[in-house]
Amino acid sequence: MFRFILNIYKKMYIKKLIQKGLTIGEGCIFYGLPNFGTEPFLIKIGNYVEVTSGVTFLTHDGSISVVRRIYSRDHLNKYGKIIVEDNCFIGTKAIILPNVTIGKNSIVGAGSVVTKNVPPNSVVAGNPAKVICSIDQYAEKVIKGTVLYKGHSIDELIKHFWEKDE
């Protein structure tokens, strides 16, 4: 029941952000509730993008308030758009900063702080996020290390990960 209510809330939340100008392409999946900040109209998400829980999109630099006070610049603000191109994955608790484009077919690792553009077909991770490999290198690594099992059997996973060590 709780999950059902959460899904309804998430749909309403996303719908409200779209009304405020957030652009979301087809086939996107949001796990949990990402934070789209106060300027969702500066964020464009392409098709088939997966955004996991705790991801934050920052479209402005709030620290500019210090400069405003020092230099008496009450109306000084710093904004930037964020673009996530098609077929990307953004890991749990990643932070995407203003003026960043995440290129097509890219992966952003969990907990990464993305301060610069992410090239297409790449995997980035860290703080600040850096390219760690190409999507082809990542695919090769994943294919070699993938556990193949039928039907998502819990028993098969337990056997694979625990019984082989005995």
Domains and CATH numbers, the chain: 2-134 (2.160.10.10)
| pTM score | 0.86
d(C-alpha 135, C-alpha 122), whole Å: 5
The least confident of 29-33, 38-42, 101-105, 108-112 is 29-33
The pLDDT tens digits for 90-139 are: 999 999 999 999 999 999 999 999 999 999 999 999 999 999 999 999 99
Residue 166 has pLDDT above 60, yes or no: no
- Please compute the mean of the pLDDT values over residues 35-63 and round it to a whole number: 95
